[in-house]
Structure formats: C-alpha cells, structure tokens
Amino acid sequence: MNLSFTAEEEAFRDDIRAFIRDRLPAAIREKVDNGLPLSREEHVLWQRTLHERGWGAPNWPKQFGGADWTPVQQYIFEQECAAGGAPRPIPFGLKMVAPVLIAFGSTAQQQRFLPKILSGEHWWCQGYSEPGAGSDLASLSMRAERDGDCYIVTGQKTWNTYGHYADWIFCLVRTAATEKPQRGISFLLIDMRAPGITVRPIETMDGVHEVNEIWFDGVRVPVDNLVGDENQGWTYAKFLLSHERANTGLGMIKRELQRLEHIASVERKNGRPLIDDPRFAARMAEIEIELMALEITNLRVLSAEAERRAPGPEVSLLKIKGTEIHQSITELTIEALGAYALPLTAEAVGPAYAHGLTAHYLNMRKVSIYAGSNEIQRNLIAQMLLRL
C-alpha cells in the first residue's frame, strides 16, 4: 500500500486545513483542545458550517448530499479536523442511522430524514441496549405491537448516549416471538417528542450526564417509520454496528497522544523531563507502534467502504485495538500527571493541561464495552476467520 499523498491530495489537505483555521470558532477549538465537553448548540453549529461548505457527510454518496470522498480524502479530513481542534461529528445520525437508510430505507424515508441529518436540524440517538440485553443484544425485549397503521411500543432502553438532546431515536424492537430471537426484531425510527417517552439521566463515574435510560409507555409509532421489512431488523443492526465499530476516532487518538507527549516533556522526574525516563519512553513508543498498525487497518476498511463492500473482521480489529490504545494513552497520561490527576473536576488546581483529564480517563473506561464489548469482538473474529 502506497502511503504517500498525490499532489491533488496534498492540495486537498491544504484546503481542509485553511477552512478549519478560518471557520472553526475559537471557543470550540479551545474546548476540544482541552478535552472539555461541547454543548449541543456548538456541535450543531460546526455541522452546519461543514454542510454549507458541502462537507457535512464525507462518506455519503453525492445523490444524498454527501461529499462522496475517497478513503484517502476521508482519512485526510479526519486527521486535519483532529489536528485543528475541530469536534468529531456526533455519529448517531451521520455514520449510523444514515447508512442504514441509504442502504435499506424507502425513498420517502431517505427524502424525509437524510437532509435534516446533513444540516444538523435533527439530532439522533441510538436505542439498542436494554437492562437485560447489552452485548447479548438479541435477547432484547422492548415490544412493538401492530395496531392498524401504527406500532404500540412498550419497554426500556438504557446506556443511551445524548438522548436528552435528541429529536429522534432509532430502535431495535421485538415484533415477533420466534425460536431464533434475531428473526423477530425490527428497526423503528421514533420521534423523541412522542407522548409516552420518558428520558431519565444516568450520571457516570466522571460526574457527567452523557447517558440515559429511556422508557416507552404505549408510544404510537407510524408503520411508515419501519425501516425495511418487519422482523428483519437484525440484518440492519449488524450493518449499522459494522459502521459504528469502524468509527475509531483515529485523529482524536493521535491528538491525545500529542497531548501526552507535551505533558511528558514538561513534567519532571528526578530533575529530568519524564519523556527522558527510559521506561516511560518505551511505553510511549509501544503505543505509537500500535497506532501506526491501527492506521493502516483503518485505511483498509475505508477502501472496502469506497468499493461498497461489507467490512470484514478488520472492523472488529479496529474496535479492539482502537479502544485499547485509547485507554492506554489515558492511563499513561494519568501516570504522567502525578498529583495533578487527583482532582476530578475541570476547575482543578494545577497547570491547564491537567484540567479535566481525570474525568476523561474515567469516561474512556466505557470504550471497550460499547458497540459490542471487546470480548464479543474476539468471538466475531474467530467466527469469521476460523468459521467456528
């Protein structure tokens, strides 16, 4: 694989870099660079800014308003956004439900939902996990019973990210009791303003309200909001999860590694910069080597997407290694901070580079669990490669 960029690709990189420099608000850049949370309004503002430039959906086909960029262009865009302090797009609309609608949705659903995802008008969230159905997602029990031209939805979803911001939620629901549970699941689009929906916050160990539990009490959902065929939702769910797992956040991981390198260069041990400690430097080098391997695997997955091929076991590899590397960086960062890592809040005393990093470390404990735990990913790799 030739990793050198062509002259056209270098010009594309310069265009992206200049746009981020000129159009990204300084307040958003400062928050991103310091690992501080953004508001819904700040996320939406940046999405609309990208959309106005025609860059709102790098991987969508042009017929749906996307940029339809090559894998290399998508890679360059992500790297430059991360390096320039731009926020990562919220994936639930752009990178999760939108590909499902493009592949399996009706023309009416595509025309209704895709433009508002692209413009940032609609904020989406995911309704997969339930109290008794996490990694074993096929055991979900939230019911959707047909009543004329509607489904009556009753049940609970949990560990829902940003549901308190969302306009819409895409849900897996049980529409039939079958011997094989996967065959009785359907994929529904539900308006979060519908009567009977209650969102309750879950405060995580970092002290942040990011996730929720959502209750559905006899919620009426039009049959027109069923994606694809009834009882075939498991097929669409697997397709969506392949996109979620491929969303490694490589640029963000690189940015956090650069922040660690800066901290290690200013924090001192025995009178010398921490980066000069052989043991610490060796651990950083190991992370950098693994990150290079992750980068090449990521390009392979992007190439498959560009050719409209279904991702293979590489997606699970990305999920495993991406989350492990991310967690390793946050662990090493906490070690480098020493006593500055003790306070939890972003208003903690100490140098600015230490603020909020302990909360971020705690938050990153989740990444090896969501989108199918890493243990599940290893099982999937074995099934795909060894045909177990």
Locate 336 and state its tokens: 């480098």
Q: At 304, is the pLDDT very low, low, confident or very high (cuts 50, 70, 90)?
A: low
Is pLDDT larger for residue 25 or for residue 3? 25
Nearest residue to 354 via CA among 30, 37, 27, 34 = 34
Scanning the structure block, which residue is given the tokens 């290399």? 72
Out of 3.20.20.220, 2.40.50.100, 1.10.1240.10, 1.20.140.10, which CATH number does the structure's domain 246-386 have? 1.20.140.10
Per mean pLDDT, which of 176-190, 213-227, 298-312 is the most reliable? 213-227
Q: CATH code for 124-235?
A: 2.40.110.10
Res 347: pLDDT = 58
The mean pLDDT value of the chain amounts to: 88
Numbered ranges of CATH 1.20.140.10 in the chain: 246-386
Q: Which residue type sits at 236?
A: Y
Q: Alpha-carbon distance 367 to 248, whole Å? A: 10
By CB neighbour count within 10 A (0-12 exposed, 13-18 middle, 19+ buried), where does 192 fall? Answer: buried
**pLDDT tens sequence across 355-367:** 778 888 888 888 8
Q: At 229, is the pLDDT very low, low, confident or very high (cuts 50, 70, 90)?
A: very high
- Does 2 have pLDDT greater than 70? no
**Please, what's the b/e burial string for 231-248 (b: 16 or more CB within 10 A of its CB; e: otherwise)?**
bbbbbbbebbbbbbbbbb
The fold for domain 7-89 equals Butyryl-Coa Dehydrogenase, subunit A; domain 1 (1.10.540)
In the chain the first and final C-alpha atoms are separated, in Å, by 31
Q: What is the pTM of this model?
A: 0.84
